[in-house]
Amino acid sequence: MALIISGIDVSKGIAIGNVHLLNRGAPEVFEHKLKKDEIESEVERFQKAVDEASNHLRGIRDTIPKDTSTDVAAFIDSHILMLKDSMLRKVPVGIIRKQRCNAEWALKIQHDKLISTFEQMEDDYLRTRVNDVGHVINLIQQILKDRQYAVQIDAQPLKGRIIVADDLTPADTVLMQTQSIAGFITELGGPLSHTAILARSLGIPAVVGVQGARSLLRQEERIIIDGSSGMVLAGADQKTIQSYRMRQRKEKEARRKLRALRDVSARTRDGRRISLQANIELAEDMIALRQSGADGVGLYRTEFLYIDREEPADEAEQLNAYRTIIRALKGKPLTIRTLDLGAEKEFDPHFQGPLTQNPALGLRAIRRSLKDIDLFKQQLRAILRASSYGPVRILLPMVTSHAELVQSLSILGQAKQELESEQRSYDQNIPIGAMIEVPAAALSAHIFAKQLSFLSIGTNDLIQYTLAIDRIDDQVNYLYDPLHPSVLKLVDLTLRAGRHAKIPVAMCGEMAGDPRYTRLLLGLGLQEFSTHPSNLLEIKQIVNRSRISELEKPARRILNTTLPARITSLVDSLND
């Protein structure tokens, strides 16, 4: 008899395979007292476990395919960074020494204290880190229990299996993808949880929020999951399985047809040329960019030149990195975002954190650069020098005020003067733009546009700051809504500012890469999309099948609608 279970559809695709029940629960921990001469050896055992946990995560990070979204590595990087923090590296050592207890018990004491502290915080951003802390501490505990833990989980035969678990860590998800799992089901999670974001980035069919899945499904049972509808089907007959296999083949054929669009221009049926560019982070990302047929790079993240290393890259190393990308682009434009450090990202290897009481609202992005002018100017010099090798644009992140913009442009002017005095060449007319990531920037877009060559809307942060929620917090991520009337009005305001000043406006957040919103954005007037390379061909297909003249009036109707259900209905109609 067939069993149908419903969950939350988070990652498209059909998966058919046998169940692999996964238990990632924390090991049971007991206290035992140490003799005085055992204390330092226990401290050493704990420190080795932390190092092994870090090495394990780094090893998994290195397995991530080069054409994968940078979000995937970012999640694992955040866990690696936690393992550097004194809250996990030093405090448990103090507990071991003071209470003469075993490492597992000391770590449990610190875990309980951290969980209690995080849950009492009023700030949403920090409260959401509780799951990350739990994932990292659990990994250390597992290694303390069994030094071969990391090797054992790497060796599990998971190819073609559908993983069923309570939840998955970022490292779990990446590791399983490299082992060619068919898909996964989790009991926890929402559409914007870590697990969901990673599933989409890695192209793994997935359904989350399936309560009781581990008790309803049996080990090695053949099941079907439909990542588009959130349905899990167990006990299906052969006819049903064949029907779903046919759907799989059709989806594969659709992907093949998309690849045929690689060398076709993105142009609407009424002749409007649309620029489709890629977001990249490393030179290796150029492989995916070429496969997508992107018109250039709309967002080049430069944080890798600063984080997870003893010293940030100097001017010469930065110049070399930029020049490598420029040469690979062969005349296509490169938009370089200046460093967006702060929040959960830092480069000081001796930094012990926490980074700030509220990282999302603290010293990050352009604020961080303006506090370290020498570092900022060094990067600007490298970008300017790179511009002599091909078309380059400079993008300033998270500008919130006119004063920040004026100060940034002043430092850029100083960098230009220095290069001129050194007789170094650069593009005298290099375009300068700003990211619109906070409501204040959108409301000031008409002011910024007067002094800039272009604007770029970063919807990930714009939505979060507008709605005051963290999209990866399972407790509030249901509020994360790109179609919220306030978000749409800020997007429209920015597009209008660009048109009035006759400068281009791009969008480089996830909204730009979501096919559900392509026609709406075209109707609102967006003509530059920048997203992960894997999304570009589907966006191009929609663009080439659309007429902007038919989208403008419906888009305005959506913009003037306030009821969420009505907005969703109108967007669905726009996509029919």
Q: Which residues participate in catalysis according to the annotation? A: 194, 508
Tell me the C-alpha distance between 88 and 276, whole Å. Answer: 43
Question: Residue type at 453?
Answer: S
Helices (H), 330-484: 365-371, 373-386, 402-421, 439-443, 445-448, 459-467
Strands 3-6, 231-234: parallel, antiparallel or unpaired by DSSP? antiparallel
**Bridge partners of residue 226, in order along the sequence:** 14, 231
Question: Which tokens go with 538?
Answer: 């589907």
Tell me the C-alpha distance between 39 and 35, whole Å. Answer: 7
Tell me the CA end-to-end span of the chain in Å, nearest whole number.
Answer: 36
- Tell me which residue of 187, 222, 180, 223 sits closest to 203, measured CA to CA: 180
Around 142, how many Cα atoms within 13 Å sit in the side-chain half-sphere?
19
Spatial contact of 433 and 452, defined as CB atoms under 8 Å apart: yes
Tell me the C-alpha distance between 516 and 495, whole Å. Answer: 19
Helices (H), 450-526: 459-467, 485-501, 518-524
Tell me the C-alpha distance between 109 and 112, whole Å. Answer: 5
SS3 call for 518: helix
DSSP annotation string for 187-246: SS--TTSHHHHHHHHHT--EEE--TTHHHHS-TT-EEEEETTTTEEEES--HHHHHHHHH
Helix (H) or strand (E) holding 530: strand 528-531
